[in-house]
Structure 1
């Protein structure tokens, strides 16, 4: 196992604390795949969750593992939405069912476990909310000091409350997420903390297990397409890596098309894809109601674009109005309550079906990344106000009408 630069190919030992290559390129974790002996029967009798796939994860010492029983999230067949959208087969992989309510828990169980292996006592991150909530929980479990930098006034209260309640040192900075990430990376470079944003390749090793679980939950019959909300762009590339690894060792026979969805006010990856470029042009002032993907300079953009191009996938943006409508649609047709960023995958699917980019005979999995209670204020504002009544007569009149 080693860390390897996706740009120049330079390799680093897994015990080296390094976040990017000396050339500036992103790193990825590479295993000796020929030595990994796994078949479909290998998983029988194993506990479900992220660490079910320990042969393809970087921490082997079970005593170092920090877990809150993350993973094993439900994959829902959405028959009501199939009829609504006119698609043959649609599933939602609901990552809001993780312990702190988002997919970030998959990355944090691996990242904080690796911090144990490295003997690190202080961990940190920049966040739009979910990353800070997750890291705060796992660092609390591991008895580590946690420092999180958040953009002032730009974090949903549900997420801010979590980070504070788990005992993290919460620091609000004057600026957006990209500014917060720049600052926390400087702290990491000066060894004040171990950085657990998704620029750290070990974080993505946990998140790739979404792909592993989808394959298993669909009885090893991989979907035609996986639609993913894109913010800092780690998740879409991680899920693609998961599918590729299962394919490489012979557990699955096909690979899905990876489709990334961004908000219109923060869509540098979509713009790069439509130009046919491998490099993005960052947004200075990203803005969207979907706070979890309000990121103008996604650090994993190159990995995300590679996943999209390599899988013959697609990238599209959706408006805030389309996101909020999709959020209500998913709740009112399937009983699944997600935060706005999560609903971008449903909004993107709807748009791409209408445009003919996604065929209505495709088998599609949409990833929803966070629970609706992460951002209750936005949900309340998007809905009709409660009806007020004075007495029973007025109540009956309203109900009968």
Structure 2
């Protein structure tokens, strides 16, 4: 049977909806695994008519073995692709660099993997209201899955600090959206303190079931690679749920004998939201919260709830923590976008971080690196357009693709195309413009 175990003091208790131990440590799900075989997962790849078609529930024996399948709420999620793009590899200076694009999930981000598990468990527990604090992607995902499950969704978002593409999803899926006059951490405090009083089920990554779902990113990636681990996994790091989930997945897969080699995890933070990076590079034993400021809103978090779990993941995998500037993030994003893959700003931190680690000699040129892209390009389209127009404050758009204005005749366009080697975006003047 699955149980909760405190990562700080080791206290074990039955599964419930209290995720913080009396010692202050977070609980994680501790499974007593039965028979688990790679053959189970490989055989299910052919099944497209049941929950096995989900890139999360295909691995149910590692995610939540005891959950009754009648409670599973799935769209289905997962089944995201791994891409090899030469121009991105050359940009990072890493020959074997690959992109696993979690923006291909139903709501456009990796959050769907954790949310399918969180909402399914909420449903099995008899919850009627679910809530989360969010910089955008969590709210979009929770609203979608809550709507599918027939649950009332409540979203707490920081006022004026969320991309419209993400806010639109939460509104469209029918969640009650509450704008908090503060940042993400203020919204998160309200969720943590209000769950008992207001009677809602928490679906932030404080909830360990979210972490269980996000483990499937690693399991699926390994299955796609025929269970051959890469040397490194680079992941954007905000609230540190993925960093925590990745380490837990690798630990469990190694213990089950499904892999022998354990990849190193590189958690990449934005310079303006880097409390975990600061902790990693200090003698301190506890994370010091900060006021975050970064263009990458999905990782704009100054007090990440899962820092202790993430720290264990980095240590156990002999990994590292790096920081990158907003300019490095946006330049890397421009390269990823121009490769035909595309991603939101926070996603590009993984490639920007891998590039920096290669330049420092931490990652060798011939090592295999999987960079996780956490969200779809359309999640924050305004920032993308502003980058290419050169109108982002403090950002030098070194790889911009500015539109070109021409008169509305073919002679003008032909003359322009003769003088350019690339394929610029053309803005044609018409009457009234």
TM-score bracket relative to the smaller structure:
over 0.9
1-side partners of 2:285 and 2:69: how far apart? 39
Q: What is residue 66 of structure 1 aligned with on the other side? A: 73
Q: What is residue 350 of structure 1 aligned with on the other side? A: 355
Quote how far apart the aligned CAs of 1:90 are. Answer: 1.1
2-side partners of 1:352 and 1:277: how far apart? 23
Quote how far apart the aligned CAs of 1:18 are. Answer: 0.7
Q: Which moved more, 1:385-394 or 1:313-322?
A: 385-394
Q: What is residue 337 of structure 2 aligned with on the other side? A: 331
Deviations 1:206-262, CA, capped at 9 Å, x for gaps: 001111011111111111110010000111110111121111111111111111000
Matches within 5 A, 1:222-233: 222-233=229-240
- Are 2:408 and 1:395 aligned? no
C-alpha spacing 1:307/1:278, structure 2 compared with 1 (3 Å): farther
Of residues 53, 56, 59 in structure 2, which corresponds to 1:53?
59
Secondary structure of the 2:335 match is helix
1-side partners of 2:249 and 2:218: how far apart? 5
Of residues 245, 251, 257 in structure 1, which corresponds to 2:264?
257
1-side partners of 2:89 and 2:166: how far apart? 31
Quote how far apart the aligned CAs of 1:276 are. Answer: 4.6
Matches within 5 A, 1:1-400: 1-14=2-15, 16-33=16-33, 36-46=34-44, 47-48=52-53, 49-58=55-64, 60-283=67-290, 285-332=291-338, 334-383=339-388, 384-390=401-407, 391-400=409-418
1-side partners of 2:266 and 2:416: how far apart? 44
2:93–2:355 CA contact under 8 A, matched in 1? no
The number of aligned residues is: 396
2-side partners of 1:85 and 1:120: how far apart? 46
Quote how far apart the aligned CAs of 1:191 are. Answer: 4.9
Deviations 1:129-185, CA, capped at 9 Å, x for gaps: 000000000000000000000000000000000000000000101000000000111
Gapped regions of structure 1 (runs ≥ 5): none
Normalised TM-score (structure 2): 0.89
Deviations 1:314-364, CA, capped at 9 Å, x for gaps: 1010000000000001112x3111000000000001111111111112111
Q: Which is greater in Rg?
A: 2
2-side partners of 1:188 and 1:313: how far apart? 35
RMSD: 1.2
C-alpha spacing 1:220/1:263, structure 2 compared with 1 (3 Å): same
2-side partners of 1:302 and 1:240: how far apart? 12
Normalised TM-score (structure 1): 0.96
Secondary structure of the 1:275 match is coil
1:39–1:250 CA contact under 8 A, matched in 2? no
After superposing on structure 2, the runs of 4+ consecutive aligned residues of structure 1 that deviate more than 3 Å are none
